[in-house]
């Protein structure tokens, strides 16, 4: 079991039991690690301690209760949020393939690919001369199935395994170091004009924020196209890079995710915890993603 699978098990448990405020001993047992090892692994993964991460989940729950008219501020935690992690905005420029290129299935295109470790499990990344054209998390079907999916997406392209992919994944998930600016990345996508508009709107949703399908539809000037927007979101082949994980249902429910609901929940909580890094509790409540939007 890798670190993501251990953390995903804990996330699943916290989804159902966070109101019980489980302690470090309980969470470490669920992960199958010693308390010391679990604390170290979790802090490295999330950028905050397990206690602070649990606090973020509690804040989300508090926001929902406040929208229901309940007074939960009196029960708020006294401690503020702090941690070494800092979330950054990825600057991604989208380029869409032409209809002719789409029909040719990537003929004449060289795609360098490779598997890389991320905070959310292994992923498969494909990069062409014109930008990143594939990013998918490896699910239960394994690496071979993930590679088959890439081949199916670009059936006529020339695929070549490359060691440089680990560095690309590092730029995507680790962000800037020191005084360096956030990385600027190019992406090559296959989709209709409508899908590309939806994906472009997704890139404008800040980390740690959530948006509904209806709000996304309004953002592209088609407020009645929420269902079509949902279909476009589901067709995204650049997981995390185009942040379809930031889209929720109108009811506030996190909803399904192409690469697993638990992984989506993990990414959202990870972004939220880093966005609120260092914020006092009162500010964190005000800044927490509105789960009712």
- 116 pLDDT higher than 90: yes
Q: Where in the chain is the domain with CATH 1.10.10.10?
A: 91-248
pLDDT (0 to 100) of residue 210? 86
Please tell me which residue, 259 or 182, carries the higher pLDDT value: 259
Over the stretch 87-112, which tens digit does the pLDDT of each residue have? 456 778 888 888 888 888 889 899 99
Query: Would you call 244 a catalytic residue per the annotation?
Result: yes
pLDDT (0 to 100) of residue 14? 76
Fold of 3-86+278-287: Arc Repressor Mutant, subunit A (1.10.10)
Among 130-139, 180-189, 262-271, name the most confident range: 130-139
Given its phi and psi angles, is residue 138 left (phi above 0), alpha (psi -120 to 50 degrees) or beta? beta
pLDDT (0 to 100) of residue 75? 33
pLDDT (0 to 100) of residue 277? 56
Give the mean pLDDT of 176-188: 67
Of the pLDDT bands very low, low, confident and very high (cuts 50, 70, 90), residue 267 is confident
Catalytic residue among 56, 123, 133, 244, which? 244
pLDDT (0 to 100) of residue 255? 77
- 57 pLDDT higher than 90: no
Give the mean pLDDT of 221-245: 93
CATH pick for 91-248 out of 1.10.3720.10, 3.10.20.30, 2.30.40.10, 1.10.10.10: 1.10.10.10
- 196 pLDDT higher than 70: yes
Please tell me which residue, 150 or 263, carries the higher pLDDT value: 150
Residue 4 CB-density burial (10 A; 0-12 exposed, 13-18 middle, 19+ buried): buried
pLDDT (0 to 100) of residue 19? 63
Please tell me which residue, 11 or 24, carries the higher pLDDT value: 24
Give the mean pLDDT of 232-239: 93
Give the mean pLDDT of 225-248: 93
Over the stretch 277-291, which tens digit does the pLDDT of each residue have? 544 444 444 444 443
pLDDT (0 to 100) of residue 111? 96
d(CA 171, CA 176): 7
pLDDT (0 to 100) of residue 69? 46
pLDDT (0 to 100) of residue 281? 41
Percent of the chain scoring above 90 in pLDDT: 38
What long-range pairs does 99-102 form, CB within 8 A, spacing at least 24? 102/190
Of the pLDDT bands very low, low, confident and very high (cuts 50, 70, 90), residue 113 is very high
pLDDT (0 to 100) of residue 89? 62
Give the mean pLDDT of 139-148: 92
Average pLDDT in the chain: 78
Give the mean pLDDT of 46-71: 59
pLDDT (0 to 100) of residue 34? 93
pLDDT (0 to 100) of residue 59? 59
């Amino acid at each position: 079991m890798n670190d993501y699978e251990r953390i995903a098990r804990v996330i699943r448990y916290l989804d159902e039991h966070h109101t019980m405020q489980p302690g470090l001993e309980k969470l470490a047992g669920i992960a199958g690690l010693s308390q010391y090892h679990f604390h170290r692994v979790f802090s490295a993964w999330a950028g905050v301690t397990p206690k602070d991460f649990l606090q973020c989940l509690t804040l989300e729950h508090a926001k929902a209760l406040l929208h229901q008219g309940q007074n939960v501020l009196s029960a708020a935690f006294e401690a503020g949020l702090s941690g070494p992690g800092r979330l950054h905005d990825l600057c991604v420029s989208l380029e869409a393939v032409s209809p002719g290129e789409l029909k040719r299935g990537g003929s004449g295109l060289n795609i360098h690919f490779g598997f890389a470790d991320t905070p959310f499990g292994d992923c498969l990344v494909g990069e062409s001369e014109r930008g990143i054209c594939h990013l998918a998390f490896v699910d239960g079907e394994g690496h071979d199935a993930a590679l088959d999916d890439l081949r199916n997406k670009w059936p006529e392209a020339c695929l070549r395994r490359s060691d440089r992919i680990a560095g690309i994944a590092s730029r995507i998930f680790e962000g800037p170091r020191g005084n360096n600016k956030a990385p600027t990345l190019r992406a090559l996508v296959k989709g209709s004009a409508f899908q590309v508009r939806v994906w472009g709107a997704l890139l404008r949703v800040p980390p740690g924020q959530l948006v509904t399908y209806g709000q996304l539809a309004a953002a592209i000037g088609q407020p009645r196209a929420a269902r079509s927007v949902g279909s476009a979101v589901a067709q995204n082949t650049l997981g995390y890079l185009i942040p379809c994980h930031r889209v929720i249902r109108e009811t506030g429910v996190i909803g399904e995710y192409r690469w697993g609901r638990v992984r989506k929940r993990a990414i959202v909580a990870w972004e939220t915890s880093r966005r609120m890094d260092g914020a006092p509790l009162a500010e964190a409540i005000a800044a927490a993603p509105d789960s009712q939007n």
